[in-house]
Amino acid sequence: MNPTLNDTAAQPVRIVPRTAATAADSTGRWSEDDVAALFALPFADLIFRAQTVHREHFSASEVELATLLSVKTGGCPEDCGYCPQSVHFDTGLTAGKLMAVDAVREAAERAKAAGATRFCMGAAWRAPKDRDVEAVAELVRAVKDVGLEACATLGMLNEGHAETLRDAGLDYYNHNLDSAPDFYGDIITTRDYQDRLDTLERVRGAGVKVCCGGIVGMGESRRQRAGLVAQLANLSPDYPESVPINNLVKVEGTPLADQPDLDPLEFVRTIAVARITMPRARVRLSAGRQQMSEAVQALCFLAGANSIFYGEKLLTTGNPDVAADMALLDKLGITARRA
């Protein structure tokens, strides 16, 4: 039997009282210094703290399965240094048109049959036009008809776009901050950090849940990873309901193709710090999971990750296949969250 939130067995001995070095201030905000102090904790202490927080809000043996489909691939005018879909880089990717409703519905049905509860759709736009948003709204309706939660990531939204998607049934809108503000310009020059914050504000204003995280392993310092987490944890009026933590997937032809690998334990630390600072969020183990060993993935779950992208492909890069995922979860005694 899996432990529930009310099971005594699921509640470990309480950790020592939180100090200024390891907790938000009296306003509930996390300073960059305090987040950096979490990163600097001894590994065992950090994992214990994260696991304690995790069990206060979730079952420790349950994970959400989400599927991500690229519904419009390539041709993006942005110059994000990590992205193979940018027109600025020669990665061998052929740009395509927006998928048809029937094709997306079939993909959603396959995802549901494989156990997914959330279906995310990504389109490579800088900012969709009104007609694009109307077309995606039809895709959202199709996903909702299948009985899945619907999420979309379409770039920057203009006035009224979030409301159109909300009215179609969209549950989550994904728009990552990507990095700390002081590192952002090293990775992207075609939009400002404030552009991302403006889109998140429009999403919140429309009453759509926010899915927002970032990418680590792009050459940032630990302090800058702390800056990213602090930005996420301090978003107004609250931190995101869903927080994808991505490990850079290096793609030939992009500026970050030769970036040295991030130490796997540093990635685990990032998951743990995200869990501590955003205790009620779904922390998603996202891009880069294919390159992780089973042991590293297990540590990520122990650190508080409770959502994964599930299926053959994560936008344009590979993802562990369904059978391998189910085998790993079975080894760990982790079950899929039911809708």
211 an active-site residue? yes
Strand partners of residue 317: 314
Compute the distance between CA of residue 211 and CA of residue 152 in angstroms, rounded to an integer.
9
| Catalytic-role residue among 80, 191, 202, 225 | 80
Helices 264-277, 222-233: crossing angle, 10 deg rounding:
20
| Catalytic-role residue among 196, 211, 212, 300 | 211
Strands 214-216 and 242-247: parallel
Amino acid present at 253: G
| Catalytic-role residue among 49, 83, 225, 289 | 83
Q: Where are the beta strands (DSSP E) in 39-157?
A: 62-72, 118-123, 149-153
Burial of 170 (0-12, 13-18, 19+ CB in 10 A): buried
Report whether 219 contacts 213 (CB < 8 A).
no
How many whole angstroms from its chain centre is CA 314?
12
Return the closest-CA partner of residue 121 out of 79, 169, 167. 169
**Exposure string for 57-71, b = 16+ CB within 10 A, e = fewer:** ebbbbbbbbbbbbbb
| Catalytic-role residue among 49, 55, 118, 151 | 151
Instruction: Using alpha carbons only, give the angle 213, 275, 175 rounded to the nearest 5 degrees.
Output: 15
| Catalytic-role residue among 191, 225, 284, 289 | 284
300 an active-site residue? no
120 an active-site residue? yes
| Catalytic-role residue among 55, 120, 191, 275 | 120
**Exposure string for 99-118, b = 16+ CB within 10 A, e = fewer:** beeeebbebbbbbbebbbbb
Q: How many CB atoms lie within 10 A of CB 317?
A: 14
Distances in Å between the Cα of 40 and the Cα atoms of 14, 61, 173, 184, 300 are 21, 27, 32, 23, 17
275 an active-site residue? no
Would you name the residues annotated as active-site residues?
76, 80, 83, 120, 151, 211, 284
